[in-house]
Structure 1
Amino acid sequence: MKKLRDYEIGIAKLSNKKHSYEFVLDDAFFDEFGKEIILGGNLQAIVEMDKTESLLTFHFDIKGTVKLICDRSLDEFDHPVDVQATFRIRYGEENAELDDDLWQITPNTQSINIAQHLHDYISLSLPMKKLHPRFVEEEEDDDDEQDILIYSSRYDSDTDEEGDDDEDDSDPRWDALRNLN
């Protein structure tokens, strides 16, 4: 967690205007969060913070590649990432998470650590099914074939009714139930 201190933004002494920050997200950054999803990466994050009297607005622009493991072959591959996101923090009486993209902090808060936000935005941009690029075209072809819905039912053209069984083909148990009316 020591490495994550590099992602703290001191807000107490900043003037009310736009401020720009640039961060490099490398393997050491992802090591701090564990390697369950993302093994490593090489990304650049540009964070613009607009500070006003009552609100801090962060605009994230994250670009680069992350190392993932293919779900099919278990091979490691680089996946491109291009994320734009906005996060807001307002001042209030207590610290609280009001929404996914809106937090509340007390006016005496000295700094904000955005490392978790950077990691979350990158993680949420990843596909559910992580496939090596050599499998992507094959998967798209399979998806096209799976989109075809095949449905058949018996249709009697003489009566224009669907699913009417002939008397000879009917199940005697159903006939007994129909006679209960």
Structure 2
Amino acid sequence: MSKLEFNIVEIPEGESRRTVDLPDEALDLAPYEFKGGHIDLKFYRTLHFIRVNFHLDADVELVCDRSLEEYTQPIASDYEVLFKVDVQEETENEDGAVRRFNFSSNTLSIEEEVRDTVLLNIPIKKLHPKFIDEDGAPKEFEIKKFGDIRDESESDNIDPRWEKLKKLKN
């Protein structure tokens, strides 16, 4: 049984809280690497539904798009999952999800929601923190020039074929 799977009978009636530590192997985020974290859970159980609110603090190992260096990206996010018995169609959005609840299974799992929450909080542009300024904006990177670079104005040895093409253009 996963750390993110809970027995229904162990969840008390009304409101309750739990904290779960997530080891490195808790989530499969391929191609990214999960580096552990913890999740604060708040359950609210009635006869007809169970609401699970969670706050996730975790780290993910990423590769910088600019330098190809590995770095650790902290992830912090909140999400809510509502498990109901009489749901005809499961729904979800950026704030929460409504899932069908089957009492015969005797367990509920939020592993998929936690994994999706982590994946949705991974930035599209992965920049190492050394490339981000104190305001959170990407720093300009310097442009280096190698070798002798001719100016466009130096036209002393231009291929005559290019000259003829330029004349055709005009």
Q: TM-score, normalised by structure 2?
A: 0.68
Equivalent in the alignment of 2:84: 90
Structure 2 alignment gaps of length 5 or more: 141-170
Of 94, 97, 102, the match for 2:98: 102
Q: TM-score, normalised by structure 1?
A: 0.65
- CA distance in 1 between partners of 2:22 and 2:10 (Å): 26
Structure 1 alignment gaps of length 5 or more: 143-181
- CA distance in 2 between partners of 1:93 and 1:43 (Å): 32
2:131 is aligned with 1:131: no
- CA distance in 2 between partners of 1:16 and 1:139 (Å): 46
> Contact conserved, 2:87 with 2:99, CA < 8 A, in 1?
no
| SS of the residue 2:66 aligns to | coil
| SS of the residue 1:140 aligns to | coil
How far is the alpha carbon of 1:99 from its aligned partner?
Answer: 3.2
Equivalent in the alignment of 1:59: 53
| SS of the residue 1:120 aligns to | helix
> Contact conserved, 2:64 with 2:126, CA < 8 A, in 1?
yes
| SS of the residue 2:68 aligns to | coil
- CA distance in 2 between partners of 1:81 and 1:15 (Å): 29
How far is the alpha carbon of 1:34 from its aligned partner?
Answer: 4.7
Greater gyration radius? 1
How far is the alpha carbon of 1:103 from its aligned partner?
Answer: 0.9
| SS of the residue 2:117 aligns to | helix
> Which aligned pairs between 1:3-152 and structure 2 lie closer than 5 A?
5-12=2-9, 14-30=11-27, 33-36=28-31, 38-92=32-86, 97-100=90-93, 101-137=97-133, 140-141=138-139
- CA distance in 2 between partners of 1:47 and 1:129 (Å): 30
* Offset from partner CA, 1:12-60 (integer Å, 9 cap, x none): 4544212222222232113xx2531x21213111111111121211111
Percent identity of paired positions between Structure 1 and Structure 2? 19
> Contact conserved, 1:43 with 1:63, CA < 8 A, in 2?
yes
Root mean square deviation, CA, Å? 2.4
Instruction: State the AA in 1 paired with 2:60.
Output: V
Q: Which has the higher helix share?
A: 1
Change in 2 beyond 3 A, CA 1:124/1:93: closer
How far is the alpha carbon of 1:139 from its aligned partner?
Answer: 5.7
